[in-house]
Each structure stands twice: as structure tokens, then as C-alpha cells.
Amino acid sequence: MAENGFRGASMAAIAAHAGVATGTAYVHYSSKDELVVAAYVEVKAALGVAGVEAIKEASAVEDVFRSLWNAMYRHLAADPVQARFLVQVQASPYAARAHEAALGQDALADHPALAVLFKELVDLPPVLLYDLGLGPAIRLAAGDGLSLSDDELDEVAAACWRAVSGR
């Protein structure tokens, strides 16, 4: 545990914690590490589907960003257990491995609109743009007790856009 937050956990606890249908996966994965990564891939894939759906109608880059931000927040706020799982994995030593594994299953990662968006952002490593731009939506969905109005949510999304766009 000193190194990661999952060492003390049972396989069942991880599956429950991720809030995903890994109950069956349970029999397929031989180690806890594999189960954490598999659950992460599953949560990110579903988030990616919500993101792709949301940007269908968007064309201007700011629209793409704001639609993505809102879709991610709403998708995860509907199930904060999943949001907390993402935050925990991203703060753990599993982060790099989980991220790598998730890329291949994430419809959003290869989406052409994302490549266009990236070209319009400030020149920083993608992991930082993610932390500044979309990270707040995920951490907000994971947070307890902070309930924001729609106007406040728009204000946070606008703050994230200023950070990553330089505008």
C-alpha cells in the first residue's frame, strides 16, 4: 500500500470499487494488477464512447472541448464510484500501465476531432493538458458533497478552456 492504494484490497473489492462488470472478469484475471488495469480500460472505454457521442455535432475547437468536458463530467457524475476509481488509478503507480492499456480500447483517443483540438492547445505534454483540461471534470465528478449549479459547471469548463487554449 505504501506504493499503491490497491495492495491491501481483495479482488472483489477492486471490482466493486471500479463499479464495473468485472465480477465475471474476476475469474479471467490471475492477478490484482491485471484486474485493476482491466477495470480501468473498461471505465475509460465507456467514457470514450460518451465523449465521441458528445462531439458529433461540434465543429469549432472550443465547442469540441466544451462538449467533451460536459459529457465526461455528466457521465462520471452519474456514477461517482467510477470517477473515484479513475482518480485513484491515475494517482497510483498503475497510472502509466493503465493509461497505455486504455488507449487501444478508447474510441476517443483516435478520433480525428481530438487531433484537430490538440493542435489548437498550448504547447505542453498531453498528460499535462489532460490534467489541466479534463482532469477537473473527473475530479469534480469524484468529489463528495460539492454540488454545483449549471452556471458554476460552465464556469469551471471555461476556466479549463482558458488554461489549455491560452485564450
Binding status of residue 96 toward a second copy by CB under 8 A: yes
Q: Which C-beta is closer to a second copy: that of 8 or that of 112?
A: 8
Phi/psi at 88 (5° precision): -65, -45
Q: Which residues of 51-89 are buried (b: 16+ CB within 10 A; e: fewer)?
A: bbebbeebeebeebbbbbbbbbbebbbeeeebbbbbbbb
Number of residues interacting with a second copy: please give it, by CB under 8 A: 45
Q: Distance of alpha carbon 154 from its chain centroid, rounded?
A: 18
Which of residues 43 and 52 has its CB atom nearest to a second copy in the complex?
Answer: 43
Site for a second copy in 56-95 (CB under 8 A): 84, 87-88, 91-93
- As measured in angstroms, the least distance from the Cβ of 130 to a second copy is 11
Q: How far is residue 34's CA from residue 163's CA, in Å, rounded to a whole number?
A: 35
Segment contacting a second copy by CB under 8 A, of 33-41, 44-52, 103-111, 149-157: 149-157
Can you tell me which of 14, 35, 43, 64 binds a second copy, judged by CB under 8 A?
14
Q: Which residues contact 141 (CB under 8 A, 6 or more apart)?
A: 72, 73, 75, 76, 77, 80, 83
Contact set with a second copy (CB under 8 A): 1-2, 4-9, 13-14, 16-17, 84, 87-88, 91-93, 96, 122-125, 127-128, 131-132, 136, 139-140, 142-146, 148, 152, 155-156, 159-160, 162-164, 166
